[in-house]
Amino acid sequence: MNKMKNTIIAILFLTVTGAVLLWSACKDNSKKPAVLSQNKTAYSTIQLPQDALSTCTIPQDTFNTWFLTGKATENGHVTPANSITFGHQNNCDFYQWSERMFLWVTSPNTGEYGSTGRVLESPVFYTVAPDTSGGMTLIKHLPGTILPVVPALKKNGPNRLPLFSDRKGHLFEVWFHKAGEKVLVKNSSGKIIELGPVGKDAKGIILLKDKQGVAIEKPQFVTKLTNPKNVIHAFATSNGNVFFDMNGNQVETELAQATQDALMAQNGSLVYYITFVNDMYAYFLAAVQAKYMSGYQFPTTLSGRDSIMAYAKQQGYSLPPDSNALAIELKTSWIIADSLSDASGFVTIDAIIPTYNTSSPSEWPVTGQQQVKLALVGMHVVGSVAGHPEMIWATFEHNSNTPNASYQYIDSNKIVQTVPADKGNWLFNSNTSLPADSFNNPHMTADSVNTLFAEAPYTTISASNTLRLFPFGAAFNLVPNQQDTSASASNTEVISINNNIMGMIPGNDIRKNYVFIGATWTNSGTAPNGNVYSSDPSKGSAIGTSLLANSTMETYLQGTAFSCFTCHNNNNSLAPGALSHIFDSINPVKNILKKMK
């Protein structure tokens, strides 16, 4: 029976990735997983300052209550935080919630969660995967389920347009206008005019013209987009794409797509991605799709939880054992476990990955699939809590991933200390002595059917050298949030809770190998505006560790103007679809949930 279920999920993988492949129970050695090298080596690890001022801690007695048995045990099962009674009084409350939720989803299963695997693999969670209609679907975790992955993360902006960056690190959304598409602009007198074909004048200058071919004076694009000044309008011409800003000025800049970049570890393994949502997220989505709930924001209250539970009971769904966790979304990144010299220090799962024809150094088409064991390298934990429908956005990384740039913290004597940039050999960096502009440059990208391509100016599909620019989500000389007056104070809080939690987890618990990088949210749960606190201290700006990035997921989107809410916002709205890029893309789930209850 398990073999049959594995085959079903494997076939589904072929469907959701858009590749036309044949499943075979026989091993085909011509299909290669994306591991270019078998040079297994030991890696450096993040060394947290042990003398950091203890500005964010919890007592051992309280920590013990996180565990199902009432006592902290090595690799013991941790229960989820109660998001309904979440205190949200200070930064440390958010960081404690983040730590507990990570320990929960990576806990070994027990009781209602099952007897094998970890919580994120249990029936409490669903895998989110693309389907053939261009939308998304949910895959229930049944016994024997082998999870599908994708080799690249789509990173769209607040208008759900693809993200591009210029070589100076400025981030734009790009609207690629199709031939014949009706595009409206406003001329200098305020009259709205339909744009004609984009072409050149007699001097070779590209102009925006009306349908009659007359140049439009001082054109402005008419849209209902969020932050239109950050949107570039692209048009195809015989000489390639041309780009204009919102005021009709041609943008002469080299843009690199940030939307579908792929990442490779230095050992040659591709990075694979899986998105999960928990049962409360799935049932809330179903209730909204059925118009049983309004869905104006993610659940944050007891009454919201009760409405979801009532709908689930009405539909005959299995009632969640952890409903107080509210809505949870996980974004995770993985590498092939066999590419590591020792995978015992990583959380691992079984998954179905694509295999590639690697004969060309610059283009790898998908040729098949293979079941492998994957090792967890990164995770975003996103969840709604009392007072914060915009959700807490927390991130964790394996301690061998990526070197830190230099940063500051406050020691136990209340003296600011500067930590130099990390040296050594890392999973995503083989040469830390390179010039600064050599780091975080994408070497490859993926298309809609997961074919990999070398990304100019690079000519081969290869590993890039990654640097964590803001080790704990705060930049030198910038104030990251309303509570911490300096980056050093903010960093100290994150280092403190890491040291505190790791010091209380007994033995060689595998979860001690993962570092909490930080978490972000908005002041008073205000709808996010896409800005960061250091440049805009208004309530809608990101606070906490406001420059948060995961080096395996936002590798190429690190900067002093970027936060999680740079992309996860839309028109200052708290609507779930404005915050979660998958919410409005998931096709009706009622029948999926009923069939797999």
Q: Is the pLDDT higher at 234 or at 438?
A: 438
Supply the angle between the helices 91-105 and 487-504 in degrees, to the nearest 10.
40
CB 399 within 8 A of CB 45: yes
The arithmetic mean of pLDDT across residues 261-276, rounded, is 94
- Other Cβ atoms within 10 Å of 188 Cβ, number: 10
CB 208 within 8 A of CB 237: no
What is the model's pLDDT at position 273? 94
> Which of 196, 186, 156 is closest to 174 using CA atoms?
156
> DSSP H helical segments within 471-521, as ranges?
487-504
Distance CA 161, CA 171 (A): 12
> Which of 536, 528, 538 is closest to 564 using CA atoms?
528
The residues facing 193 across adjacent strands are 185
What is the model's pLDDT at position 565? 62
- SS percent in the chain: helix, strand, coil, step 5: 20, 25, 50
- Measured CA to CA in angstroms, residue 83 lies from 266, 299, 389, 395, 545 at distances of 38, 10, 11, 17, 20
Distance CA 394, CA 545 (A): 9
Distance CA 66, CA 277 (A): 22
What is the model's pLDDT at position 189? 83
pLDDT surpassing 60 at residue 414:
yes
Distance CA 207, CA 198 (A): 7
pLDDT surpassing 60 at residue 480:
yes
Prior bond to 537 cis, omega within 30? no
What is the model's pLDDT at position 9? 37
Q: What is the mean pLDDT of the chain?
A: 85
- Other Cβ atoms within 10 Å of 196 Cβ, number: 15
| 414: alpha, beta or left? (left if phi > 0; alpha if psi -120 to 50) | left
CB 357 within 8 A of CB 276: no
What is the model's pLDDT at position 213? 80
Confidence of residue 248 (pLDDT cuts 50, 70, 90): confident
Read off the amino acid at residue 81: A
Confidence of residue 169 (pLDDT cuts 50, 70, 90): low
Antiparallel, parallel or unpaired: β 231-237 and 171-177: parallel
Distance CA 362, CA 368 (A): 19
pLDDT surpassing 60 at residue 7:
no
CB 365 within 8 A of CB 30: no
The arithmetic mean of pLDDT across residues 295-318, rounded, is 96
> Which of 50, 48, 53, 51 is closest to 493 using CA atoms?
53
CB 452 within 8 A of CB 369: no
Confidence of residue 417 (pLDDT cuts 50, 70, 90): very high
- Measured CA to CA in angstroms, residue 331 lies from 108, 278, 302, 499 at distances of 19, 12, 26, 24
Supply the angle between the helices 302-315 and 279-289 in degrees, to the nearest 10.
80
What does residue 217 show for φ and ψ, rounded to 5 degrees?
A: -80, 125
Confidence of residue 157 (pLDDT cuts 50, 70, 90): low
Prior bond to 506 cis, omega within 30? no
Least confident range from 122-126, 185-189, 415-419, 549-553: namely 185-189
Q: Is the pLDDT higher at 594 or at 122?
A: 122
Task: Report the half-sphere exposure of 25 (CA within 13 A, side-chain side).
Answer: 6
The arithmetic mean of pLDDT across residues 233-237, rounded, is 77
pLDDT surpassing 90 at residue 33:
no
> Which of 478, 476, 479, 403 is closest to 436 using CA atoms?
403
The arithmetic mean of pLDDT across residues 463-474, rounded, is 94
Specify the residue for token string 């000044």.
Answer: 229
- Other Cβ atoms within 10 Å of 400 Cβ, number: 21
315, with CB counted inside 10 A (0-12, 13-18, 19+), is middle
Q: Is the pLDDT higher at 347 or at 33?
A: 347
What is the model's pLDDT at position 30? 38
- Measured CA to CA in angstroms, residue 534 lies from 485, 544, 547 at distances of 11, 11, 9
Q: Is the pLDDT higher at 571 or at 382?
A: 382
Q: Is the pLDDT higher at 6 or at 499?
A: 499
Least confident range from 116-130, 133-147, 295-309, 431-445: namely 133-147
What is the model's pLDDT at position 221? 86
Tokens of 477: 């000389």
What is the model's pLDDT at position 530? 77
Helix, strand, or coil (residue 578): helix
The arithmetic mean of pLDDT across residues 168-188, rounded, is 76
What is the model's pLDDT at position 242? 76
The arithmetic mean of pLDDT across residues 220-236, rounded, is 78
Confidence of residue 387 (pLDDT cuts 50, 70, 90): very high
pLDDT surpassing 80 at residue 27:
no
CB 56 within 8 A of CB 497: yes
pLDDT surpassing 80 at residue 21:
no
Q: What is the CA radius of gyration of the chain?
A: 24
Predicted TM-score (pTM) above 0.85: no
In the sheet that 255-257 helps form, which strands lie side by side, from edge to edge? 240-244, 231-237, 171-177, 163-166, 255-257
Residue spans of the domains in the chain: they are 2-151+262-595, 163-257
Antiparallel, parallel or unpaired: β 388-398 and 514-522: antiparallel
- Measured CA to CA in angstroms, residue 427 lies from 178, 460, 533 at distances of 41, 19, 32
| 227: alpha, beta or left? (left if phi > 0; alpha if psi -120 to 50) | left
Confidence of residue 246 (pLDDT cuts 50, 70, 90): confident
pLDDT surpassing 50 at residue 12:
no
Antiparallel, parallel or unpaired: β 452-454 and 240-244: unpaired
The arithmetic mean of pLDDT across residues 336-340, rounded, is 96
320-349 b/e (C-beta count within 10 Å ≥ 16 → b) = bebbbbbbbbbbbbbbbbbbbeebebbbbb
Residues in the chain, how many? Answer: 597
548, with CB counted inside 10 A (0-12, 13-18, 19+), is buried
What is the model's pLDDT at position 239? 63
pLDDT surpassing 60 at residue 255:
no
pLDDT surpassing 60 at residue 487:
yes
